[in-house]
Structure 1
Amino acid sequence: MPFVRPDTVPFPSIWHRFERVKDGRTRKFFVQDATEDMFPFLLDHMVEAFCRNEPMCKSLDINSEPESIEGMEILWRHILEGKMVIVCFEEDPEIPGKPLRFVGCNMTYIAEKDDPTMDELIIGEKWKTIYDAVDFCGREGSKILKPDRYMGAMGLSVLQRFQGMSIGKEILDARIPLCKAFNIPWTVTCFTNIASQKLALKCKFQNLFEISYDDLEKVDPRFKFDIKSTKTIRQMYRQVE
């Protein structure tokens, strides 16, 4: 039975707050649930930023294939409708809790053991290649850990102007109180970029499965990615405690 967010937890909720000091000024941030009015903006952001920067998307030039972009939007919209996606904002210094500007997001969702696959949502040759590579890593990881319920994700993105401030780490950390609120015991994700892999390690994620991009091509000739910045792809997990 697919996960349905219960009404017992307020929506939207703020899950995490943190601060950064820059140029002698303290800036406040928070991570909250993504609400429906944000969906069009978040879809545009993921297409514009994530598809341009994620190593496999960049390698295959996924933005050159409209059908694949449509396919990614279909999947992300499906995830957004689950009401478990989280968004980071810089807080208005004058009005606590009011967003001043968008910072980043994580396309998080809840998966359960007997859920149907998302395969039917996948269209576009390039997107299917990337999705299948991620799915392969997930299946390999599940040979070690196969929880009945966990939080997964299909994309972590932070605006370029905020990169280098460990914002991604804070967004990953926000998963923990979110999972606790819904009794989700694990969070499991495929990290494809060296930057996100380093952030995940700082957030106490551990490897379930790791394979080099060179060896990934040996699994399936479609998985040929010309990636210099990141050597491996990692399926990682963190127990929610």
Structure 2
Amino acid sequence: MPTWMRPSAVPPQIWLRENGIVVRDVTPDLDEYVIDLMAEIHSREAPLSKSAQLYNDQASLEDVKRMWRHQSLPQRVSLVALAEGSPGADMEPVTPENPPIVLGANVLRVKCKADPEQNLVQAAKGKAFMKVFSHMEKFGQGVDLYERFQIDHYLDAVGLAVGRSHRGLGISEMLLRARRDLCTRLGIPLTKTVFTSTAAQRAAKRVGFQVVKEMPFSEMKDDSGACDFPDLCDGNQTVQLCAWKFN
């Protein structure tokens, strides 16, 4: 279990309201709507997951849903973008009879220096999940954010997704921007994300993220030394570990 939980003194709230879009905290009544969107979009379209065909591996899909449902969402730091006027847009509870119009979501969690070490891959059952997250964990090795930025906790990301019919509205950037006020209010000094898509990398740069580590996808090798994600190894595509420190 995580060592950090959201303090009750900071209740769920709206962080941004712009251009008919509301970015707010994910409360328990929204969890399954967020998981459904993330499974449909992120598991299909995030570059590594798409390459590994994670969505088509039922065990892997259950692994990633379990991660979101039990390890991230309970900390109550994840964000969701709803249409203005949608159920939930003014923080009222949503129900199956009164469902929200979910435009996008960013599943987040707080990591602490004092947390026990976690190995997501060791507990997984799906081959695609193990493939993707073993490479993500290897990529993050050697980057000690606690030491580098002199912090003892930070806000980490576990996936961002925008619905297909709602793209081009700046929702990804709004979800990223909302982290600043969320972190400031909660006393979290830094947020970090591993960005794998070029569009997300551009949005991150615009809002204030800095690249801490970058690597071409071609360096993600299998046991034989071949590129483990061959469809991502052409061109100049890279994976970036980015951080945004506040104050």
Match of 1:175, SS state, is helix
Indicate conservation of the 8 Å contact 2:192/2:244, yes or no. yes
Give unmatched runs, 5+ long, in structure 2. 93-99
TM-score for both structures, normalised by structure 2: 0.85
TM-score (norm 1): 0.87
After superposition, residues 9-158 of structure 1 pair within 5 angstroms as: 9-10=10-11, 12-19=12-19, 28-78=20-70, 79-92=72-85, 97=90, 101-120=101-120, 121-142=123-144, 145=148, 147-158=151-162
Distance 1:8 1:151 in 2: 18
Name the count of aligned residue pairs: 231
**Shift, 1:229, TM fit:** 8.2
Runs of 4+ in 1 over 4 A off after TM superposition: 218-223
Counterpart of 2:132, as a letter, is I
> What corresponds to 1:5 in structure 2?
6
Give the stretch that moved more between structures: 201-210 or 145-154.
Answer: 145-154
Q: Over the residues paired in the alignment, what is the CA RMSD in angstroms?
A: 2.5
Question: CA contact under 8 A between 1:130 and 1:223: conserved in structure 2?
Answer: no
Mapping of residues 210-221 of structure 1, within 5 Å? 210-217=214-221, 221=225
- SS state of the match for residue 49, structure 2? helix
1:221–1:3 Cα change, 3 Å? farther
**Preserved contact between residue 59 and residue 125 of structure 2 (Cα < 8 Å):** yes
Aligned residue in 2 for 1:169: 173
Deviations 1:178-221 (A, max 9, x none): 00111101001100111111110111111110000001227985
- Cα deviation for residue 161 of structure 1 reads 1.4
Q: Percent identity?
A: 27
Q: 1:139 to 1:38 in 2, by over 3 A?
A: same
CA-CA distance at 1:38 after TM superposition: 1.3
The one-character-per-residue Cα deviations of 1:59-87 (angstroms, maximum 9, x if unpaired) are: 11112211111110110012111111110
Contact 2:81-2:105 at 8 Å conserved across structures: yes
Q: Which residue of 2 aligns with 1:23?
A: none
Deviates more, 1:82-91 or 1:144-153: 144-153
Shift of 1:116: 2.1
Unaligned runs of 5+ in 1: 20-27
